[in-house]
Amino acid sequence: MYLFPPASCPRLVVKIGSALLVDPDGGVRRAWLEGIAADIAARVVEGQQVAVVSSGAIALGARRLGLSKGGRASLEDAQAAAAVGQIALSQVWAETLGAKGLTAAQILVTLDDLEHRRRYLNAAATLDRLLGLGVVPVLNENDSVATEEIRFGDNDRLAARVAQAAGAQGVVLLSDVDGLYDRNPALPGAQHVALVERIDAAIEAMADRGSASGMGSGGMVSKIAAARIANAAGAHLAIVSGRVERPLSAAARHTLFVAEKAAPARKAWLAGGLTARGTIHVDAGAARALATGSSLLAAGATRVEGDFARGDLVVIAGPDGRHLARGLAEYPGEDAARIAGHRSDAQADILGYAPRSALVHRNHMALL
């Protein structure tokens, strides 16, 4: 039986990498894509709602514009290639899915669309309505307007965020690799890891930063980051080999990252955030308190970095620099830095106003 059957996974997000969809010459691999469309159609017939996150716009546009390095020589080249290639990509998906009796919809998003709470909720509502109507949304990052500083940079993490917004129970990352290995799979003796029940430092150390094809932008590091986001939202994630025909129905080799119990929607959104305006470093005592569900008090902070306002997303880092949590700041960065390390009875004198109970309240915090 294939991964994520409809009975246990009413909604599924499938991500397709550039190296699978586009051949080395910059043309669409239509026969392979037709097999994907057939797999999606079969799942829809069985009652599953499917959204697709599709790479390929930059690669397709680069071919049409004659740009070197697959359109990735510069940000300007990538933006131009994406603008041209996105038209071709959406047309291919509309034709291929249409041939199977399915209606496709195009959604282009930026990082800000899913990091800004209100825009995230708007995107979630659109996805919910489209999927409820039996439409197959095809999403991609809006590379024509994205900048180096404000972009996903890879569609692995975008797929995980889309799954979170759509309330999906499963994510499939179809890739030119067949999953996680304990070291670079090109090295002798590399062992395939079929199941990951918890993402820890040992799992992260296995990640290789390269993309095997050189065409895409996501390596294993981005895939593990995507698994963290999906798992935090209660969705299982599988890295699956797309180097086979009909990979959504075949027993393709893969690595499955198992989700634990889903966090509440708001906290899952916080945990999955990719941008932060600052970092609050804490001592060992505060780190232990956070792990038990406590708010972050100023007395436990050792250092504050960043120029952030009240309500901005910040990262909380432990004594070793490891990220422990994400949350919404109760103070602007300047004031947080002034009271860091001070007990509550001294904070009013330092700030000149009555202090709030915490730097980051537990109700607005998600542990990582």
55 is in an annotated binding site: yes
122 is in an annotated binding site: no
Write down which residue in 262, 289, 315 finishes a domain.
262
Residue 124: inside a domain? yes
Tell me the C-alpha distance between 240 and 256, whole Å.
9
Please give the single-letter amino acid code of residue 190: A
56 is in an annotated binding site: no
294 is in an annotated binding site: no
144 is in an annotated binding site: no
175 is in an annotated binding site: yes
Write down which residue in 229, 262, 295 finishes a domain.
262
Q: Which two tokens stand for residue 127?
A: 């996805």
211 is in an annotated binding site: no
Alpha carbon distances (Å) from 333 to 106, 337, 363: 39, 6, 19
List all residues 6 or more positions away from 309 whose beta carbon is below 8 Å from its beta carbon.
277, 329, 332, 333
Give the model confidence (pLDDT) of 195-207 as tens digits: 999 888 889 888 8
Give the model confidence (pLDDT) of 140-178 as tens digits: 988 887 665 446 668 899 999 999 999 999 999 998 889
313 and 210 fall within a common domain? no
Residue for token pair 């999955």: 272
Give the model confidence (pLDDT) of 334-348 as tens digits: 999 999 999 888 888
Across 273-367, the runs of DSSP E, i.e. the strands, are 278-282, 301-305, 313-317, 323-328, 365-367
Full residue range of the structural domain in which residue 294 is found: 266-367
Which residue would you say has higher pLDDT here, 319 or 357? 319
- Count of the separate structural domains present in the chain: 2
Mean pLDDT of all residues in the chain? Answer: 88
Indicate if the pLDDT at residue 1 is higher than 70: no
Tell me the C-alpha distance between 39 and 33, whole Å.
10
**Reduced to 3 states, what is the DSSP secondary structure of residue 40?**
helix
278 and 231 fall within a common domain? no
Please give the single-letter amino acid code of residue 243: R
What does the pLDDT read at residue 95?
97
What mean pLDDT comes out for the span 232-261?
89
Indicate if the pLDDT at residue 116 is higher than 90: no
115 and 256 fall within a common domain? yes
245 and 214 fall within a common domain? yes
Indicate if the pLDDT at residue 183 is higher than 90: no
Residue 154: inside a domain? yes
Residue 1: inside a domain? no
217 is in an annotated binding site: yes
274 and 196 fall within a common domain? no
Average the pLDDT over each of 87-91, 128-132, 153-157, 191-195 and give the range with the smallest value: 153-157
By CB neighbour count within 10 A (0-12 exposed, 13-18 middle, 19+ buried), where does 292 fall? exposed
241 is in an annotated binding site: no
* Cβ–Cβ < 8 Å for 48, 248: no
202 and 321 fall within a common domain? no
Confidence of residue 215 (pLDDT cuts 50, 70, 90): very low
**Reduced to 3 states, what is the DSSP secondary structure of residue 191?**
coil
Residue 315: inside a domain? yes
**Reduced to 3 states, what is the DSSP secondary structure of residue 265?**
helix
Write down which residue in 212, 241, 262 finishes a domain.
262
Confidence of residue 263 (pLDDT cuts 50, 70, 90): low
The dihedral formed by the CA atoms of 226, 282, 359 and 342, expressed in degrees to the nearest 10: -170
251 and 353 fall within a common domain? no
Q: Would you say the C-alpha torsion 86, 249, 178, 205 has a positive or negative sign?
A: positive
Q: Which two tokens stand for residue 93?
A: 């998906």
124 and 162 fall within a common domain? yes
**Reduced to 3 states, what is the DSSP secondary structure of residue 133?**
coil
Residue 277: inside a domain? yes
Indicate if the pLDDT at residue 332 is higher than 50: yes
155 is in an annotated binding site: yes
Closest CA to 19 of 174, 249, 178: 174
195 and 324 fall within a common domain? no
238 and 330 fall within a common domain? no
Confidence of residue 127 (pLDDT cuts 50, 70, 90): very high
What does the pLDDT read at residue 15?
97
Closest CA to 35 of 240, 241, 243, 246: 246
Question: In whole angstroms, what separates CA 309 from the centre of its chain?
Answer: 25
83 and 131 fall within a common domain? yes
| Helix ranges (DSSP H) in 66-168 | 75-98, 111-115, 117-132, 155-166
What does the pLDDT read at residue 208?
59
173 and 276 fall within a common domain? no
What mean pLDDT comes out for the span 236-251?
91
Give the model confidence (pLDDT) of 63-77 as tens digits: 899 998 888 888 889
221 is in an annotated binding site: yes
Confidence of residue 180 (pLDDT cuts 50, 70, 90): very high
State the CATH number of the domain containing residue 285.
2.30.130.10
State the CATH number of the domain containing residue 235.
3.40.1160.10
